[in-house]
Amino acid sequence: MPKWIFVFFGFFALFAVAGSSALATANPNTDPTEVAEELLNRGFSYDSRLVGHFGFDDPPCEMNNVYLLSKDPVTQHQRTISLHVYRNPDRKTSQSVLIVPPIGGSNLLDESFGIDFCRFGIESWVIVEWDKGLVDLPLTTALESQDDAARKAVSAIRQIVKRMSGKIGILGTSAGGLSGAVALAVEPAIRTGFFVVAGAGMAEILAESNVSTIADIREKRMRKFGWDISEYKNQVRDRVHIDPLYFGSRLKRKRVGAVVALEDESVPSAQQVLFEKVSGAERIAEFKTGHIETIITNGLLNRYSVIEYFLEHP
């Protein structure tokens, strides 16, 4: 089974920044959106430079490997963001789309979306790795690492977007939908978003998901700190701040489309419906299937509805 199928919704960072949760715990009346925004801006810089650019022709589209060197907002170390960029060298485009796959790296469905966007005249950027050579990050029982890893993802998206041109959209799947939705909310340059099996409400997602990676770290955390499932949800609500749930008002100012899985236990279907509600997303399609089946079915049978959404809402 391809590696990308194992969708990692728990964004886990290599390093935790001490005191990340202090913002929320120090004052129970703190606005969660303000906390999330402060975290996203902490250590973030738009400074980046191109360190590699090469490709091959596949008419009518050219695929380029692009490497972007930037600063990691958590560790403050340099990292290399790796992308595949599909463009038609003979056709000037006024529109581009960033494709954010599930954690685990590049996959065939997202690459094929990139090619088809290009064929319809939209330049596409497909994220391959957040940090070259570091795709799947180790687990940690520190809840703060959730926000740290989300910061890594959202900052990478914002740094990439500064290199893109024209009217910019974002397509995110599963974990890529979570980080993509937050980036859409906070990055003015991104106009349109489309999200497949994305959710809102990290407390419920992390407490209820059946993805083995999430379930394993949940059990470790509960065992280490002596929490039951109810207390685990409360701890996540108090200490995990970067969540589409807190960016509804900003998302409603953008164009948002969604595909929902009605029998999803990885990103629970109820959380996908909540994401629609808080973001004002238009449901473009729904499938009475689970998480992975919906991702595959959407990629095979509904891809042109996704592309059409961006063509109609540049």
CATH code, 120: 3.40.50.1820
| pLDDT tens per residue across span 11-39 | 323 223 233 333 333 344 578 778 777 77
Residue 183 lies in a domain: yes
| pLDDT tens per residue across span 256-298 | 999 999 999 999 999 999 999 999 999 999 999 999 999 999 9
For residue 192, give its domain range: 33-312
Query: What does the pLDDT read at residue 76?
Result: 86
* C-beta separation of 151 from 74 below 8 A: yes
Phi, psi of 142 (to 5 degrees): -75, 120
Residues of the chain under the 50 pLDDT cut? 1-28, 48-57, 135-136
> Distance between the two ends of the chain, CA-based, in angstroms?
35
What is the number of domains present in the chain? 1
Query: What does the pLDDT read at residue 292?
Result: 94
Query: What does the pLDDT read at residue 46?
Result: 56
Residue 16 lies in a domain: no
Query: What does the pLDDT read at residue 132?
Result: 62
Query: What does the pLDDT read at residue 118?
Result: 92
Query: What does the pLDDT read at residue 75?
Result: 85
Total residues found in the chain within this entry:
314
Average pLDDT along the chain:
84
Residue 20 lies in a domain: no
Query: What does the pLDDT read at residue 54?
Result: 44
Quote the CA–CA distance of 111 and 84 in Å, as a whole number. 8
